[in-house]
A = this chain, B = another copy of it.
Amino acid sequence: MATDRNGLQTRIERMCMERGLKMTGQRRVIARVLSEAHDHPDVEELYRRAAALDGRISVATVYRTVRLLEENGILERRDFGGGRARYEATEEGDHYHLIDVESGQVVEFTHAAHAELLRQITASLGFELVSHRLELFARKLPDVAQEQTDHTVQTEQKGGSRP
Contact = CB atoms under 8 A, between A and B. Distances in A.
A149 B132 contact: no
B130 A132 contact: no
A121 interface: yes
A73 to B, nearest CB: 13
Contact of A132 (B111, B123, B125, B137): B137
A154 to B, nearest CB: 10
Interface in A104-122: 107, 109, 111, 118, 121-122
A133 B98 contact: no
A126 B143 contact: yes
Nearest to A110: B121
A58 to B, nearest CB: 23
A31 to B, nearest CB: 24
A124 B146 contact: yes
Given A130-B139, A133-B163, A163-B130, A125 B111 contact: no
